[in-house]
Amino acid sequence: MSLTKAKLKSLKELTHKKFRDEQKKFLVEGLRFVHEAASSDFEIHEAYHTPELAEQHAGKVVLQALKHKTKELHEVSARDLDAISETVTGQGIIAVVEQKQFSAESMLKCPDGQSVLVAFDGVSDPGNVGSMVRTCDWFGVNGIMIGRNSVELYNPKVLRATMGGVFHLPIADGVDLLPLISKAKSLSYKVYVTDLHGETHFDHVRYDSKSLIIFGNEAWGVSDQLKQLADVRLVIRRYGAGESLNVGVSCGIVLSSLHRLFN
């Protein structure tokens, strides 16, 4: 099957935020990532693969999984696929996936009384956002809220850096964090922010059963307004001469202490 110019154009549009927002869809590339999508409860509208991929064992496994997820599974030329691909060395498969719209407010409602949520305030680097989603997935966070001043969740670089984490836990994108934090506090959440000048070392904290942890922008951290609403300002003690710590690394360090969940 050869893709028409119109079809190539419509698929290529999904590499741009404007069209992802309009269509509520995003592209997933590569064997592992497409297999993650096929194994999730996300809806797959259509998928495209090269003849070469269909001859590989790993490719056959992914294509079999896709047959249970979509009726729109098409074999196309490597040239057509390369015209859509965002990666330098594609693996011969791309899927069009429906975005999921999660409500940040619904995440705050925890029927069993236990919930650990994470928010990103102004995190602008796609690699950082993606790796932080992956880290939250690893440490069993219940949900993520991405502030509207952060990079978009469905940015291709963010998606690749999640390593499939985008399919594993609820993530609300474009959230206005200020009113949300006030709502969380009214529902008995304890709010923690990371702060270079915080007064409480992260390793001394025993988290509440309902906890919201906020990580901030790479250059200036969490906004002053959110800091003022926080119950605890966490700091990771510096032992060397480094000026700052990467926010993705900070996320991993802080979340590694979640085993001390209950007061």
CA–CA separation, 164 and 106 (whole Å): 23
Q: Strand, coil or helix: what is 117?
A: strand
Length of the chain: 263
Angle at 125 between CA 122 and CA 126, to 5 degrees: 115
* Digit-coded pLDDT (tens) for 203-243: 888 889 899 999 999 988 999 999 999 999 999 888 887 77
pLDDT at 260: 65
For the cut 90, the answer to whether the pLDDT of residue 67 exceeds it is: yes
DSSP string across 225-236: HHHHH-SEEEE-
User: Hey, what are 86's tokens?
Assistant: 């965002």
In degrees rounded to 5, what are phi and psi of residue 233? -105, 110
The residue-averaged pLDDT of 245-261 equals 87
Alpha helices in 68-186 (DSSP H): 78-84, 104-107, 126-138, 156-162, 177-186
pLDDT at 191: 97
C-beta neighbour count of 237 within 10 angstroms: 8
pLDDT at 213: 97
Q: Give the Å distances, CA to CA, from 60 to 27, 35, 95, 138, 170.
A: 20, 11, 15, 28, 29
Please report the domains of the chain, with CATH numbers, ordered by start residue.
5-98 (3.30.1330.30), 104-255 (3.40.1280.10)
pLDDT at 263: 47
* Digit-coded pLDDT (tens) for 93-113: 999 999 999 999 999 987 677
Cα 192 to chain centroid, rounded: 20
The residues facing 212 across adjacent strands are 117, 191
DSSP string across 199-211: SEEGGG----SEE
The residue-averaged pLDDT of 47-66 equals 94
- Give pTM, 2 decimals: 0.91
The residue-averaged pLDDT of 39-56 equals 95
Mean pLDDT, the chain, integer: 91
For the cut 80, the answer to whether the pLDDT of residue 86 exceeds it is: no
The residue-averaged pLDDT of 23-35 equals 94
User: Hey, what are 248's tokens?
Assistant: 């993705």
